[in-house]
Amino acid sequence: MANYSGYDVKELAQRARAQIELDEKYARERQESYRAKRRLRIDQIITAVVMEAYGKVTREIVEQVKRLLPREWFN
Amino acid sequence: MNVLDRINSVAGSVEKWWNEETEKSLIISIMGQTGVGKSSLINALFGTDLYVDPVRPGTLKPEVRYVKGKSGHNVKLYDLPGIGESQKADEQYFGQYKQMLLESNVVIWATLADTRSFTFDRDALDKALNTIDEQQRVTLMSKVIFVLTKVDLLNAAASSPWIFYHDEHEGIFATMDPLEKLIKRKEEYFHRAFIEPFKHLIRSQTYWSGRFAVRDPRIHYEKPIVNFKGFLSEEERDQLKRRYPRYRDVFDRLHDQYRVIPCSERFKYNLDFLMKVITDKLETHSAGQFGGFVVNSRMDKVPSSEARNRINIVFVDESSNHAFNGNGLHAK
């Protein structure tokens, strides 16, 4: 296909590749952002349930509970 | 109950609680005048299948719609037509608007990019904020994301076509310089109307997993979340980036949350950015509901065959008996 006159193909391709790089970064960032919120929310739930069961929250109990939960929740 | 049984029971309760949260509907409010492309935008972002009528406008009253995303997760959608289109409707439904906006996990405020008037939308925002208390104002402004829709229509104003960069099967839409500049100017114009007057109500947050040693009274870090009180302007962001280069991405993300976001669902332009902002602005307690809508891959890809069909001009040359369009040459 003939080039559209007046446009530099390399320059246009470079702009598009820069856009792709940014979109890739945004995709990674939103995954990380979601995972951080999921970890935090699960920590909040663990704290609430442990408090109800034991009347106190200790690091040791929390770690024991975490070991029994699906590992991917803490990725 | 022995020690092990007790721990097992607690873990079971945690799992049950989390699973119940993941099964709840994600509540989304989409605000905007008729024809700005609310349903199309929601479909593009959340994989729903809302019907889009190209001729008949929606109703003027708020509607509740229940739909499913691609992964089968539930969405409860509050479809809120623009306040100001009908005074009677405004008076009748305003109480519902407030309730719906505050109850939502995600609030998107959509305005057509190809317009210079923001009077209706600004009036609506003023009305919404003036009828709630200070704490609710902060909550609402921390949730709402202002979006400029249909930026694909701006190419004529900029006299600049879009780039479609592709291989045989798929590609992405990108902007040329004049179009990018026009989009930036639009963003700044709407930013002055929707964000700047409400800076004092703004709170933003993002993630950071390591040690976060930044001395700034507006920043509060509680691992893994960095909280920022107020609006982080471009200049302030750049100053912080120079002073603390290690955390430059954090400052970018905090600043990005209060940009007016230009996008095109049709060209899938800037959807990755918009979805990143939606995820960052999400309150922690909504994480379970949002899980089914996290998109792991890039959202900007458009099949090449579809992109060709979007070129909507046929060049007719009667003298040579030829007509051309995006699919190539067609002899008449």
Buried residues in B283-295 as b, exposed as e (16+ CB within 10 A): ebebbbbbbbbbb
Residue pair B36/B54 in contact (Cβ under 8 Å)? The answer is no
B272 vs A15: CA distance, rounded Å = 17
Domains located in chain B, CATH noted? 14-201+258-294 (3.40.50.300), 301-332 (no CATH)
What's the pLDDT score for residue B86?
66
Q: CA–CA separation, B101 vs B68, rounded Å?
A: 20
Tell me the pLDDT tens digit for each residue of B191-217. Answer: 999 999 999 999 999 999 889 999 999
User: Is the model's pLDDT at B284 over the cut of 80?
Assistant: yes
Residue A1 has pLDDT above 50, yes or no: no
Quickly state the pLDDT bin for B312 (edges 50, 70, 90).
low
pLDDT at B58: 62
Maximum average pLDDT range among B80-94, B142-156, B313-327: B142-156
The DSSP code for B268 is: T
Average pLDDT of span B96-124:
88
- pLDDT at position B123 is 84
What count of other Cβ atoms lies within 10 Å of the Cβ of residue B321? 9
Residue B311 clears pLDDT 80, i.e. is over it: no
Q: What pLDDT, on a 0 to 100 scale, did the predictor assign at position B271?
A: 97
Average pLDDT, chain B: 88
* Residue tagged 């609402």 (tokens): B140
Higher-pLDDT residue of B90 and A75 is A75
Q: Please, what is the Cα angle at B157 between B156 and B160, to 5 degrees?
A: 55
What is the three-class DSSP state of B322?
Answer: strand
Please state, in angstroms and rounded to a whole number, the distance separating the CA atoms of residues B70 and B67.
10
Q: How far apart are CA A45 and CA A56, in angstroms?
A: 14
Give the model confidence (pLDDT) of B116-174 as tens digits.
Answer: 778 888 888 888 888 889 999 999 999 999 999 999 998 777 788 899 998 889 999 99
Q: Which of B284, B299, B329 to mutate to test the interface with A (most CBs of A within 10 A)?
A: B284
Q: What is the pLDDT of residue B131?
A: 83
What the block records as the tokens of B69 is: 């995303």
| Nearest by CB: A68 against B11, B21, B298 | B11
Write out the two tokens for B214: 């930044």
What backbone torsions phi and psi does residue B141 show, to the nearest 5 degrees? -65, -25
Whether a cis peptide bond, with omega within 30° of 0, leads into B224 is yes
Q: How far is B170 from chain A (nearest CA, A)?
A: 13
pLDDT at A14 over 80: yes
Comparing A75 with B208, the larger pLDDT belongs to B208
Residue type, B305: S
Digit-coded pLDDT (tens) for B229-269? 999 999 999 999 999 999 999 999 999 999 999 999 999 99
Distance CA B200, CA B229 (A): 8
| A33, A45, A70 ranked by CB distance to B207: nearest | A33
A33: its two tokens:
């952002």
H or E element, residue B198: none
Residue B22 has pLDDT above 70, yes or no: yes
Distance between B206 CA and the closest CA of chain A, angstroms: 7
Q: Which residues pair with B147 in a beta bridge?
A: B110, B261
Strand partners, B107: B29, B144
Our measurement of the distance from residue B119's CA atom to the centroid of its chain's CA atoms, rounded to an integer in Å, reads 21
Q: Which pLDDT score is estimated for B118?
A: 81
Per residue in A57-72, pLDDT (tens digit) is 999 999 999 999 999 8
Quote the CA–CA distance of B249 and B206 in Å, as a whole number: 10
Q: Distance (Å) from the C-alpha of residue B21 to the closest C-alpha of chain A?
A: 10
pLDDT of residue B138: 93
Mark residue B312 as left, alpha or beta (left: phi above 0; alpha: psi -120 to 50; beta: remaining).
alpha
* Contact list, B7 vs chain A (CB under 8 Å): 61, 64-65, 68
The DSSP 8-state label assigned to residue B85 in this structure reads: S
DSSP string, B21-41: HHHSPEEEEEEE-TTS-HHHH
| CB-based contact B10 A65, cutoff 8 Å | yes
Q: Do the strands B261-262 and B144-149 form a parallel or antiparallel pair, or are they unpaired?
A: parallel
Tokens 């919404």 map to which residue? B128
pTM recorded for the entire structure: 0.92
Among the partner residues A16, A26, A49, nearest to B14 by beta-carbon distance: A49
The whole-number pLDDT of residue A28 equals 96
How much is the pLDDT for B331? 46
